[in-house]
Amino acid sequence: MKRLLAAALLFISAAALAAGSTINPAIPATNAAMASAPVRNNFAAAYADINALIQQNASATAPASPLLGQLWLNTTATPYVLNEWDGANWVARGTLNATTHAWISVLANSALLPIQTITGASHTFVTADLYQKTRRSNSGTAMTDTLMASTGLLNGTQINIANVDATASDTVTAGAGTTIGGNATFVITAGRDMWWSYDLTNTQWRPIANTGIALLGPTVTHSQQEIDTSYTYSTPTTGNTITLASGTETAIINPSGTLAALTVTLPACTAAYDGSIARFSSSQIITTLTVSATSGSVADAPASLAVGGGAGYLCRGAGTTWYRLY
């Protein structure tokens, strides 16, 4: 019976133990005398562990020695932030507002975020500003805001700033120990908004939506440069093939010198890929160039390239054909 009781407690506490449990998993020796105090203490510890699991370790302090997949409801400020341990860091999964009873997933559309309005020339963002859309304005006068310092920021932490001023811009400065996409500042022009997620490993805020682009009906207006993160860079030799995978828009080809022959293969042009762009450019002469597609056809394919030459294509899915734009 003694061993059965101890084994049961050990089973209940197996996961909790590594995460800071006070349960003593030691099993008494066969026929050893058993005092009641250790048993009572272990039942009390098991009770506390089970409650912690039920409450998702709700506390302002993270659990000690967490296990992979363990949850922690950070109650430091409202809204509470639910985090999951990924083996190295706490990753934010969403927020719970105990006052409004609103749950917001970190994957939720920005339109679902709670909204707050802040006016004035400057604002320093704090924990309470996270996981909601902050509408900024200053009656036409330029604004300067500062994001939080790196201390205490969790991987996946999100912040959304909407500049709703009619004419003034908002210059946002990264907090101490962080950058905004590798830069110290980012300017949100009038009528635009930014949604950032914190990358703990690289200590920088990365854009995840609304990156300086306003959608106005069928028109796209840019207030910042386009950033093509899908591009590829290669240094081929004669006879090689450069293949643009699905989702890749730009291929930069930089041989060490003139190539006698090269093949460029565009992504498959299908109905699902309709309207997609694919383009390539070479820094050197390509004497004999072959342009094809993984599937579909290529109209008006160039037979060679001069230094700095290239071509851009648009896929018309209905005809599974890449049509040359330039």
Query: Half-sphere exposure of residue 29, counting CA atoms within 13 Å on the CB side?
Result: 2
Alpha-carbon span 97 to 110, nearest angstrom = 16
User: Please, which residues have CB within 8 angstroms of residue 123's CB and are 6 or more apart in sequence?
Assistant: 134, 136, 143, 145, 146
Instruction: Specify whether 150 is located in the same domain as 27.
Output: no
Residue from 223, 224, 185 nearest 204 by CA: 185
Instruction: Specify whether 94 is located in the same domain as 209.
Output: yes
Averaged in consecutive runs of 10 residues, what is the pLDDT profile of the chain (326 residues)? 48 47 69 72 71 76 86 84 84 77 59 78 90 88 94 84 88 92 85 84 78 46 70 95 90 96 94 90 97 96 96 94 96
Instruction: Specify whether 238 is located in the same domain as 215.
Output: no
Query: Half-sphere exposure of residue 135, counting CA atoms within 13 Å on the CB side?
Result: 11
User: Please, which residues have CB within 8 angstroms of residue 231's CB and are 6 or more apart in sequence?
Assistant: 248, 249, 250, 251, 252
Alpha-carbon span 294 to 262, nearest angstrom = 16
Domain boundary among the residues 168, 192, 227 is at: 227
Domain boundary among the residues 38, 54, 70 is at: 54
Alpha-carbon span 16 to 66, nearest angstrom = 9
Phi, psi angles (nearest 5°) of residue 131: 55, 35
Q: What is the pLDDT of residue 269?
A: 93
Alpha-carbon span 264 to 244, nearest angstrom = 8
Q: What is the pLDDT of residue 106?
A: 58
Instruction: Specify whether 141 is located in the same domain as 31.
Output: no
Instruction: Specify whether 46 is located in the same domain as 74.
Output: no
Rounded to 10 degrees, what is the CA torsion of 109, 95, 192, 135? 130
Is there a contact between 59 and 110 (Cβ–Cβ < 8 Å)?
no
Is there a contact between 91 and 103 (Cβ–Cβ < 8 Å)?
no
Q: What is the pLDDT of residue 283?
A: 96
Instruction: Specify whether 47 is located in the same domain as 190.
Output: no
Domain hosting residue 306, numbered range: 232-324
Rounded to 10 degrees, what is the CA torsion of 12, 15, 21, 27? 50
Instruction: Specify whether 15 is located in the same domain as 101.
Output: no
Instruction: Specify whether 43 is located in the same domain as 79.
Output: no
Query: Half-sphere exposure of residue 208, counting CA atoms within 13 Å on the CB side?
Result: 18
Burial of 292 (0-12, 13-18, 19+ CB in 10 A): middle
Query: Half-sphere exposure of residue 59, counting CA atoms within 13 Å on the CB side?
Result: 12
- HEC readout, 211-235: CCEEEECCEEEECCCCCCCCCEEEC
Instruction: Specify whether 14 is located in the same domain as 36.
Output: yes
Instruction: Specify whether 110 is located in the same domain as 181.
Output: yes
Give the Å distances, CA to CA, from 192 to 168, 197, 222: 11, 17, 10
Instruction: Specify whether 75 is located in the same domain as 204.
Output: yes
Instruction: Specify whether 92 is located in the same domain as 200.
Output: yes
